[in-house]
Amino acid sequence: MSKFDYNKLIDNDAALQSRSIFWEPEIYQDELKQIFNRCWLFLGHDSQIPEAGDFLRTYMGEDDVIVVRGEDGEVRAFLNACTHRGNKVCHAEWGKTKAFTCSYHGWAYDNMGELAAVPLEEAIYDNLDRSKLGLVPVARVQNYKGMIFGTFAEEGPDLVEYLGDMAYYLDVVLDASPEGMELIGTPFRVEIPGNWKLPVENAIGDGYHVAWAHAGAMRVVGTIGQGRGESVLGIGKDNTGFDDSGQMQVAIPPHTVLSTLDGQSGYALYDNPGPCIEYLEQVRPSVVERLGDVRGNQLLGSETHMGVFPNLQIIQGLNLLRVIHPKGPGAFEVATYSMADKNTPDEVKDIIVKHVGQTFGTAGILEGDDGDFTEAITHSPNGYATRQMKGWLGMAQGRKMDWEGPGEASPGIVNELCQREFYAQWQRTMLAESVNEILPKKLAKKESANG
């Protein structure tokens, strides 16, 4: 039983969040257990490890994890920890191997996690059973259309149930063609002195800060067809003017989506969107055929931010995928990847990869602006009085709009619905007494728009 009352730390009706949730070390320890040890977490993508022996390293919470395709073709994930004394068995970030050999005493594990060789085994051990000393596996690893997820929970919802209706939206990126999406390159990795929740809810829902926090960048980046237009994504460049028509935030608990719904503005920030939009319009008819009118015409090509709880963001338009790894209560690592449909022409992929780097890479002109806020919100509560404060996410609360897709929608991307939903889900997970309680109770299923 936790000593914290998570019912009080988040007040959903008043849309208030206690600032201690970004600061309190013991809350962070609860998060590692309740959230990162139970939820389905993004591990990687098939395109990164297509062949037997291909591996990559990532994190599940703070646990260092190896994700590897074994000789048998199956993808597994293991704690990166030797079962002898606990040294890491792999220090490379990615590669291809038949075995992971511990650098301490030389125990070697095959790429299916079995302990294959122990130096001097016969001579020195009378009691060693190699079959019981394989790498510790991540309890379940499942794949959704190329996306590899893992959970430490032995039971509880399967991946498909966990994603639920979010699959409807994810498919716009993952299933726009039979070949599907791929991740490109090695991720940008940056460690920032802030709490992990802040970059997550910022990316999935904070349309409000874009024009102001990034005002310098907004003045110099391109906007579709308008050269340096006065408004970006419906928001005036100096935070004046606001147009919420035809834009939305939608809650698909435990996940969220923000989208401009115009089928094109994902490329608003590109300097040379021409080839991207040309390709987009070329594939649109086939996507409409695959996914229907709503997804093919309204979602495809829109600036669409999909938040998969807890720490994955898939951003169509900017065409990036980000994972936020916690590093203690006061720091996080962001890993940012470029993504594109596999069929995308190289010329367009090249534009996308460059654009991701120039906007949200390590030296991205937008990415860099947010570090100060995250740091201040996280670390100012070192002060006792500041720690008693609450953050407020009351914008557009109660505003509703009709939307044919799954979930409850609210108008405008300048809205705090997605962020409220994130904290509601955070609270739900922190209160869950078992893994079977991490998902919200099923709402009456809405008839979804053309499947």
Active site residues: 105, 206, 209, 214, 370
Near ligand FES by CB under 6 A: residue from 36, 59, 107, 149: 107
**R_g over Cα of the chain:** 22
Distance CA 416, CA 226 (A): 28
Q: Is 85 in the site for ligand FES (CB under 6 A)?
A: yes
For residue 367, what are its two tokens?
């990415």
Near other proteins by CB under 8 A: residue from 11, 12, 37, 53: 53
The residues that bridge with 392 in the sheet, in sequence order, are 16
Strands 312-316 and 320-326: antiparallel
DSSP SS3 for 259 = strand
Q: Is 84 in the site for ligand FES (CB under 6 A)?
A: yes
CB of 134 to other proteins, least distance (A): 22
Give the position of tokens 């090509």. Answer: 301
Site for ligand FES in 280-299 (CB under 6 A): none
Backbone φ/ψ region at 164: left (φ over 0), alpha (ψ -120 to 50), beta: left
Nearer to other proteins, 167 or 215 (CB): 215
Question: Which among 46-54, 316-324, 379-387, 439-447 is the span making contact with other proteins, rule CB under 8 A?
Answer: 46-54
Distance CA 243, CA 411 (A): 10
Distance CA 195, CA 81 (A): 26
For residue 95, what are its two tokens?
């590669």
DSSP SS3 for 205 = helix
Distance CA 75, CA 18 (A): 40
The residues that bridge with 321 in the sheet, in sequence order, are 314, 337
Near other proteins by CB under 8 A: residue from 14, 33, 50, 179: 50
CB of 118 to Fe ion, least distance (A): 50
Nearer to other proteins, 223 or 358 (CB): 358
CB of 21 to Fe ion, least distance (A): 20
Question: Which among 11-19, 92-100, 309-317, 437-445 is the span making contact with other proteins, rule CB under 8 A?
Answer: 92-100
First to last CA, the chain: 42
Site for Fe ion in 334-373 (CB under 5 A): 370
Binding mask 35-64 for Fe ion (x = CB under 5 A): ------------------------------
With vertex at residue 181, the alpha carbon angle to CA 175 and CA 186, rounded to the nearest 5 degrees, is: 160
Let me know: does 359 contact 366? Beta carbons within 8 Å: yes
Question: Which among 20-28, 85-93, 299-307, 402-410 is the span making contact with other proteins, rule CB under 8 A?
Answer: 85-93
Near other proteins by CB under 8 A: residue from 5, 13, 51, 129: 51
Q: Is 303 in the site for Fe ion (CB under 5 A)?
A: no
Contacting residues toward Fe ion, per CB under 5 A: 370
Residues near other proteins (CB under 8 A): 45, 47-51, 53-54, 56, 91-97, 182-193, 213, 215-217, 219-221, 271, 333, 338, 353-354, 357-358, 361-365, 367-369, 371-372, 375
